Amino acid sequence: MKQFNVPNIYRSPLISAIKQQRKQDDKLKKDYTPTLLDLGPLQIFLARHFGFCYGVENAIEIAFTTIDENPGKRIFLLSEMIHNPQVNANLVEKGVQFLQDTYGKQLIPFEEITSEDVVIIPAFGTTLEIERMLNEKGITTAKYNTTCPFVEKVWNRSEQIAEKGYSIVVHGKPKHEETRATFSHASSHTPTVVVNDMAETIELAKYITGEKPAEEFYTAFKGRYSEGFNIEQHLQKIGVVNQTTQLASDTQAISDYMKNVFIKQYQLTAETIGERFADTRDTLCYATNDNQTAVTGMLETMADLAIVIGGHNSSNSSHLVELCENQLPTYFIDSADRLLNTKEIEDRNWKTKELKQVSGYLPAKKPLQILITSGASCPDAEVEKVIRKLAGFYGVEEKVTTLTHAFSAL
């Protein structure tokens, strides 16, 4: 796989050495057991896969190269390039300005940008409407487009099945940048509707089976369907694609549910299901799937708590929290600064995004066992900072350096 030129401030000698060693020992990526960092009174178990994915490293490389190659020019990002506070703060420090926030709210009017400016498209991609508007202004988008290749894969697959007459059901968070972009691309080829979760999928299926009157659809799914969408015509032949940072298991469950609805509704068999339901399993992002599977493997290890590191608005990080908290106390932080001391932590609620100070998060036992993972947009350097801060609470930070040398020597 391609190696990207990512600033060293995001790298970690410890994490790099661990990942390299695990890669050598498990080339086929079949071992999902975590890596133990035994620090004596503190034992940390690192997930097999975590941190920067291919798409994120690609985006970071393009963004920082763009800054270096355009001195004196105004450089804008359509929105946060990735959902990580440290990376976005670093870009702002270098003069990059955001045109929109995460939810598409305009921060700087598009009218203020000119053909002399540089506009970077974030890793989530953007809508065809925005891309067209930028091109009409004379702004070259192709050169500064950091859209993740796996997001583009979803778009391409949507186009392919659209050509065969399928409508598209997008599994995604309706307000998320990537979902808005995927909806735009898919709906330019075929009727498209967005579902947020299984509950909405079940409701959508009732319009297929006739359990709900068609006219109710337009209110229940307002703002979620493409122009001219006809509920009585456009859900007779579908394919399900997803926002790549959703839980892969959730997307598969939604796809399986809809598939079974079609089998019953149209009396289909394994041989004839393709007439009305497209196979889109190949659109699931490998990195999202690897990170989630690694968390499942990590959770087989007995531990006292889990810490997930990632931006508060990071969808893939939130789903890692969701997986962990089903089994043990879990804390969602965006930096080591959230570890206030041995008694208190600033924890982010992954559902409400509320930040709350929690007391007594570290049980008084030795050895204390902690599971740690991070989202796909979290730098490895931040993971090491969290490890070192926890080690410092127990007076064993020097052991982290010793482990770094040990892993590097393997």
Same fold yes or no, 54-136 and 150-284: no
Among 377, 372, 409, residue whose Cα is nearest residue 391: 372
Burial of 277 (0-12, 13-18, 19+ CB in 10 A): buried
Decide: 83 and 377 in contact? Cβ < 8 Å.
Answer: yes
pTM of structure: 0.89
Max CA-CA distance within the chain? 66
d(CA 171, CA 188): 17
CB count, 10 Å around CB of 175? 12
d(CA 59, CA 270): 41
Decide: 308 and 373 in contact? Cβ < 8 Å.
Answer: yes
pLDDT at 1: 60
150-284 sits in which CATH class? alpha beta
Decide: 169 and 161 in contact? Cβ < 8 Å.
Answer: no
Decide: 103 and 80 in contact? Cβ < 8 Å.
Answer: no
pLDDT at 288: 85
d(CA 245, CA 265): 31
pLDDT in tens, the chain (410 residues): 677 889 999 999 999 999 999 999 999 889 999 999 999 999 999 999 999 999 999 999 999 999 999 999 999 999 988 889 999 999 999 999 999 998 889 999 999 999 999 999 999 999 999 999 999 999 988 889 999 999 999 999 999 999 999 999 999 999 999 999 999 999 999 999 999 999 999 999 999 999 999 999 999 999 999 999 999 999 999 999 999 988 888 999 999 999 999 999 999 998 999 999 998 887 778 888 899 999 999 999 999 999 999 999 898 999 999 999 999 999 999 999 999 999 999 999 999 999 999 999 999 999 999 999 999 999 999 999 999 999 999 999 999 999 999 999 87
User: Out of 131, 177, 178, 382, which one is annotated catalytic?
Assistant: 178
Distances (CA, A) of 94 to 61, 106, 327, 377: 14, 21, 41, 19
d(CA 3, CA 8): 13
Q: Read out DSSP for 340-384? A: -SSSEEEEE-TTT--EEEEE--S-S-SSEEEEEEE-TTS-HHHHH
- For domain 8-53+287-409, give its CATH number from 3.40.1010.20, 3.30.300.10, 3.40.50.880, 3.40.50.720: 3.40.1010.20
- Here the tokens at position 212 are 């709900």
**Residue 367, preceding peptide bond in cis (omega within 30° of 0):** yes
CB count, 10 Å around CB of 4? 14
Domain boundaries, the chain: 8-53+287-409, 54-136, 150-284
pLDDT at 80: 87
Domain 54-136 is found in CATH 3.40.50.11270 = yes
Q: Count CA within 13 A, CB hemisphere, residue 355.
A: 10
Alpha helices per DSSP H over 139-247: 149-162, 177-187, 198-209, 214-220
- Here the tokens at position 104 are 């598409």
pLDDT at 393: 97
Let me know if 178 is a catalytic residue: yes
